[in-house]
Structure 1
Amino acid sequence: MADEPMQDGDSQLSNDDITMAGPEAVTSTSNGAGGQGEEGESDDDEFPSSRPQHTQPSSSPDAAPSSPLDAGRISLKASDPEILRSFYQRLFPWRHLFQWLNHSPTPTNDFAHREFALTLQNDVWRRYMSYPTSDLMRKEMLNLLPSRIEIGPVYTTNPRDRKTIRNASAFKPIAKELCFDIDLTDYDEIRTCCDKANICQKCWRFMVMASKVVDAALREDFGFKHIMWVYSGRRGIHAWVCDKKVRTMDDQKRRAVANYLEVIKGGSQGGKKVNLRRPLHPHISRSLDILAPYFQTDVLATQDPWLDADRAAHLLTLLPDRPLTTALQNKWDASPGRSSASKWADIDAVAKSGASKSLDARQLLEAKQDIVLEYTYPRLDIEVSKKLNHLLKSPFVIHPGTGRVCVPIDPRRLDDFDPLAVPTVQELLAEIDEWKGEGGSDDGAAVKEEGRTNIQDWEKTSLKPYVEYFRTFVLTLMKDERDTRVKREREDAGGMDF
């Protein structure tokens, strides 16, 4: 997929051999990033406020702009270095990202041994980057200004040191979130409103259907709890399953989960893509219950997938009885322009009319169930989920084509999420400037709001609800991991003999 994960593996490029200026060269701690060793749960001070940073040289990448954004800056592309610097400096939630991947407020190898891959200017790609803390990661991002940040697995040792290990086989991935990737380009044969990289609110409903089915299966069938859905920035959606028992699964177990969820199979054109055994698995029955309302409203009524004669012909190939399909074809030929909802109703009407003497009612019902699934069930990029060492785009990066931020989505509000309303980085930077003009101070004094000082820049923008949701998700994940660890330590202590 064009705007989704790059291929993993050293064969892609030799950029991992490039020597770069980064955290290796940094020896001092940046207090402006909230303190290096603490990474506290509630301290958000890595986000500079809008007031000038008089204590830093103006040439420093951390120096906040001392004047409002001018009109020309808003017209810059999302991948422009000036835009990227302002975004990484003022809006990106570095501390929350650290806590999410570290699973603790204090630094551990869960973060220090994590691989990051960066896409730099001129499409230079660097793999096996790693950082001990969010402070040092932030400093390097402000230095390199990557247009894309991808997250890989946790390795047995620091990824930067892999070439110094005598036994190369000792360097291997040991943990990573289980990820799922769903892209609207895989729906091009059934969506009628858009194609390729284009999307609208109508076809986004396929992403709503997909996320609801996958989310229900992961929670109810596997017992997974910490599942974060993230908008890819253009035409897709990602799921990150973050439970500890998931992160340590090997490739075989990941394949098993992925295969469990895979129902749509076959090429992009033609052929029957759903072939299920009966009786239906409980997961499939539940999925049909979830999807049936969407099939009526978002597929039949909105997409009208069989209005076109060629697409209607494909529908007939999915029905099991030749006399029935012949009768339907004759009916539709006599009524050109018949809607998909009417054609779907015609199947039962013609079947009941006795047009076919050999029709098996059970086979027809099963065929109709398969059709509903073919037009609604998630179309997963299954390879993303099968490999422990697969890279996936980080939340909160900017999509270079649309300028939109890859924001997390509250699963309780999937039906209300509008990808076209997600703010672009240019809009966010303008919102900061407008906020200052309305209620801020131009003399460098701290801005006060509800008794607080140093209001963070992301709080002044439409990015705020997404960062707050991410922060809540991360704190819940850390709390569960801490509670589990304490419980295990107590059980171990209680079982000791003195």
Structure 2
Amino acid sequence: MPHSESPEYAQASENDNEVLPDTAPADPQSDSNGNNDATTNAAGGVKLEELFNDDDDGEFPASSALIRRWRRRLLLPSLWSEYRDSEEAPAPPPAKVDTDTMLAFYQRLFPFRYLFQWLNHGIIPSPDFGNREFALTLQNDAYLRYQSYPTADLFRKDILKMNPSRFEIGPVYSTNPRDRRTLRGGQMKPVSKELVFDIDLTDYDDIRSCCEKANICGKCWAFVTMAMKVVDTALREDFGFEHILWVYSGRRGAHAWVCDPRARNLPDDRRRAIAGYLDVLRGGTNSGKRVNLRRPLHPHLARSLDMLKSHFATTTLQDQDTFSSPEQTTRLLSLLPDKALNESLRKKWDSAPYRSSANKWADIDALAKTGKSSTLNPAALRDAKQDIVLEYTYPRLDSEVSKKMIHLLKSPFVIHPGTGRICVPIDGKRAEEFDPLSVPTVTELLAEIDKWDAEHPNGTGTGNGIGGEGEGMSSTVGSSDAKSGRKLQDYEKTSLKPYIDYFRSFIAGLLKEERNGKRERDEDGGQGVKPEPMEF
């Protein structure tokens, strides 16, 4: 079910020149920089954990969550009972990362310098970073919107001071979002943001048999891998984007950040068009046929089908054995086009209730070839089977996250409060090698630093590698590397190193294009514009 939007965002869509109101009233006590140390929400004492669900990997402002819950109660009574029942039997509460551990992580491991360079699109502070909105979730569940920082050093200092449990990244505004209270309507509006996509395994609960809700395993993570491959290929081949950063959400999903300059500057109508282009499944899980495509298939769908056929065989038919349940068997029959064939299949499967999904899938063609149905159209059966493959394997995206600049999304490298795992980047070219269960937790990383220091007593130093504003700064305490003589940063002593190294290489490619693009614009007198590979 798509996420509903809060009133403030509904207003923004009607008039992009309106100033976005605050999500929550600020506490009267704030520092000179406008930091509210104890912001409460507008719900009158309702804790943020009730408004902003950490289990929801699609990140929305807190007010949206409250409106969604209200609408479920009042506007959708037929669906509320199902939603309520799921909340009355939650998974065991996760162990919360304590504040000292969180602070140690920010002090020693969080890559502030590289995050700054990624969002700033260079090493010299610019409005791309200075006018960027950050939203902080504090340890007491207060939620601070419209935070911004002119430099990487001030960003790091504020994070260390606030010690948030997590923070989200929003758009770049036309002016500093901290000044919103002093501006007239229309003076502050979003001007750019990465095009983002959200994949959440809970959207696959109706077709995964191994896990449900927040739980995941290697078998059901295959659905995320499939989605990453299909979306990444479409974005690169159909829209010409190159700089796509995939990030593990920390629990059961993945986010894509499309960072090309052309993607960041897309207006909302084009973001909606791209989201619609990638949206194939229609209706809810309890509706009828969710994939009903015209023939011949669009090139994107034909390519996706070729990519997903093997995954359907290994994941749907084998690992998940999806059609073994009576409910899924009934649904499979409902998706086939011929009544006589369906009746023959039903009799066969009723006589063998434990027949595997792979055998049931093979039975469809086997019985079709016997000629028992005089009304069977082979082309219609082929098309129906293709639609079934797509229904059970095609990406299930939360498209609302992609449609507007103003949506917030969890930052890479923060800690997921439910699992303690780091939200690490994923190499899209090696998506099938990524194992979410092997991603390090913050306690494991800190233990790795202690172990390394204990094994290298002569290599411990005190330098922190903090550079000037133009260079950003390092977030880690260093130790000497005996081979090179340089100070070894703490992340280099841990299993977080390959993830940060990949992030650095991604940023290097992005910054190279930024420099080349600036050079081309300077040479062309500002008239050089890269042609768009595809109209949308």
TM-score if structure 2 supplies the norm length? 0.79
Match of 2:206 among 168, 189, 195: 189
Question: Is 1:359 paired with 2:369?
Answer: no
Identity of aligned residues (%): 58
Paired AA for residue 130 in structure 1: S
How far apart are 1:140 and its partner, in Å? 0.6
Distance 1:7 1:144 in 2: 29
How far apart are 1:269 and its partner, in Å? 2.3
Paired AA for residue 136 in structure 2: L
Task: Determine if contact 1:180/1:382 at 8 Å carries over to the other structure.
Answer: yes
Per-residue CA distance 1:35-64 (angstroms, 9 max, x = gap):
xxxxxxxxxxxxxxxxxxxxxxxxxxxxxx
Structure 2: where are the runs of 5+ without partners? 10-19, 36-93, 463-478, 529-536
Task: Determine if contact 1:15/1:125 at 8 Å carries over to the other structure.
Answer: no
Paired AA for residue 451 in structure 1: S
Task: Determine if contact 2:2/2:398 at 8 Å carries over to the other structure.
Answer: no
Per-residue CA distance 1:238-280 (angstroms, 9 max, x = gap):
0000000111111100000000000012113242111111110
Map 1:236-315; keep pairs closer than 5 Å.
236-315=253-332
Distance 1:374 1:285 in 2: 14
Question: Is 1:453 paired with 2:471?
Answer: no
How far apart are 1:298 and its partner, in Å? 1.5
Match of 1:82 among 75, 82, 100: 100
Question: Is 1:492 paired with 2:525?
Answer: yes
Task: Determine if contact 1:7/1:391 at 8 Å carries over to the other structure.
Answer: no
Question: Is 1:331 paired with 2:341?
Answer: no
Give the match's secondary structure for 2:324: coil
Aligned to 1:146: 164
Instruction: Assess, with a 3 A threshold, how the Cα gap between structure 1 residues 494 and 92 changes in structure 2: closer, same or farther.
Output: closer
- How many residues matched? 443
Structure 1: where are the runs of 5+ without partners? 26-75
Aligned to 1:112: 130
How far apart are 1:20 and its partner, in Å? 3.6
Question: Is 1:381 paired with 2:398?
Answer: yes
How far apart are 1:336 and its partner, in Å? 1.6
Aligned to 1:124: 142
Aligned to 1:67: none
Distance 1:277 1:493 in 2: 43
Paired AA for residue 215 in structure 2: N
Per-residue CA distance 1:61-105 (angstroms, 9 max, x = gap):
xxxxxxxxxxxxxxx955311011000110000010001001011
Question: Is 1:201 paired with 2:218?
Answer: yes
Instruction: Assess, with a 3 A threshold, how the Cα gap between structure 1 residues 16 and 409 changes in structure 2: closer, same or farther.
Output: farther
Root mean square deviation, CA, Å:
2.3
Distance 2:521 2:337 in 1: 56
Task: Determine if contact 2:210/2:219 at 8 Å carries over to the other structure.
Answer: yes
Give the match's secondary structure for 1:123: coil
Task: Determine if contact 2:95/2:419 at 8 Å carries over to the other structure.
Answer: no
How far apart are 1:339 and its partner, in Å? 0.2
Paired AA for residue 13 in structure 1: T
How far apart are 1:233 and its partner, in Å? 0.2
Distance 1:329 1:371 in 2: 17
Instruction: Assess, with a 3 A threshold, how the Cα gap between structure 1 residues 111 and 12 changes in structure 2: closer, same or farther.
Output: closer
Give the match's secondary structure for 1:455: strand
How far apart are 1:444 and its partner, in Å? 4.7
How far apart are 1:6 and its partner, in Å? 10
Give the match's secondary structure for 1:210: helix
Aligned to 1:33: none
Map 1:394-405; keep pairs closer than 5 Å.
394-405=411-422
Distance 2:225 2:166 in 1: 25
Paired AA for residue 135 in structure 2: A
Per-residue CA distance 1:277-307 (angstroms, 9 max, x = gap):
1110000000011111111112111110011
Distance 2:376 2:488 in 1: 69
Instruction: Assess, with a 3 A threshold, how the Cα gap between structure 1 residues 202 and 342 changes in structure 2: closer, same or farther.
Output: same
Aligned to 1:157: 175
Distance 2:405 2:526 in 1: 34
Distance 2:370 2:2 in 1: 48
Moved more, 191-200 or 432-441: 432-441
Instruction: Assess, with a 3 A threshold, how the Cα gap between structure 1 residues 493 and 283 changes in structure 2: closer, same or farther.
Output: closer
